[in-house]
Structure 1
């Protein structure tokens, strides 16, 4: 990934935040039929392995788990806040006209090795982890409790578990980029943030604002 120094993000906690907030990752693999990509929701386990582990599952009908053997190098791409930035939003543009459109974004590239798990116990644990994480975010506080695997009839759940295969990506390297206007002057950054806020793009506006603050390294 092209990485100008002012856009580089190497803090693990910040990369983990983006991955957790935007868990639908793009799993990129190379097999006998060439390159392939699958969009999968991942669970991040930062405590397993030197750099953490990603857990997910694919449909048994998906040829990925048979075409890409365990131990293969893979790439998982997570994309955070992103959006178009018009030069009209920069105060500096109206004074000099020296500005062009751009696209601001956050991205995390996860390099790792793939392991396939075709065991019911492992698959059940992966589904339980994913369900626990995302059900906690799916419902606002109220009378409805989060959905649990036990809510489904046992025979139906068993059939569903048999129709999927678990995958694990042992992380070897994390690469992060936050292209959020750090190369612009403060009035231009603030003008873009204000325009985004007016248009309802609060996530990108907040990300730009946070990226402009002094960095607090752990």
Structure 2
């Protein structure tokens, strides 16, 4: 991911937020050919000094059939994003797009059965916990879950490079910056999210 210095962030709290809120991300690999799978991802910080991304895909997925320990993959997380119209400036300029994104490049470690079970427990808790009648992994019974696990391919991605990008019109003068916020506040949910982010960093 190309990140001009103006848009580069080293804020790991922002990274955590973007991953948590945009967990259905792309797992990209290039073994044999370029492959990409949307999958649910979580940041594991049980050991803060050695955090990693964990996920699972179907064993029937061709990507699962090619990945092995040590292979390099890329996890791509896209946060809020919004179109910025050229009509929102007080001068002639081109339109663009504001957005937040995280990319984590890392090496694969395949999960064993116990690691996959724990991964599914945590993932299910995160999304079931707020349901009216939550069904946790423990409620399903170990035998049932382990039977279903036979079709899952669990993996950990150990980061080698982390990229955090916040492109929020930081290159615009104050008048245009404020006008972009005003216009975004009158658009869709993504636009409102970007406007809120811009307010946090405004000069």
Task: Normalising by structure 2, report the TM-score.
Answer: 0.90
CA distance in 2, matches of 1:47, 1:173: 19
Contact 2:117/2:146 (CA < 8 Å) preserved in 1?
no
Q: Give structure 2 stretches of 5+ with no counterpart.
A: none
Matches within 5 A, 1:137-216: 138-139=130-131, 144-152=132-140, 156-200=144-188, 201-212=191-202
Match of 2:43 in 1: 44
2:99 paired with 1:100: no
Query: What's the Cα RMSD here?
Result: 1.9
Contact 1:51/1:173 (CA < 8 Å) preserved in 2?
no
CA distance in 2, matches of 1:154, 1:132: 15
CA distance in 2, matches of 1:125, 1:167: 12
CA distance in 2, matches of 1:125, 1:146: 18
Is the deviation greater in 181-190 or in 40-49?
40-49
CA distance in 1, matches of 2:81, 2:110: 32
Contact 1:51/1:172 (CA < 8 Å) preserved in 2?
no
Match of 2:16 in 1: 16
Task: Normalising by structure 1, report the TM-score.
Answer: 0.84
Match of 1:60 in 2: 59
Residues 27-57 of structure 1 show CA distances to partners (whole Å, capped at 9, x for unaligned) of 111112x111111110101343745101111
Q: Secondary structure of 1:37's match?
A: strand
CA distance in 1, matches of 2:7, 2:95: 17
Q: Secondary structure of 1:99's match?
A: coil
Q: Give structure 1 stretches of 5+ with no counterpart.
A: 214-218
Runs of 4+ in 1 over 6 A off after TM superposition: none
Shift of 1:152: 3.0
Is the deviation greater in 169-178 or in 57-66?
57-66
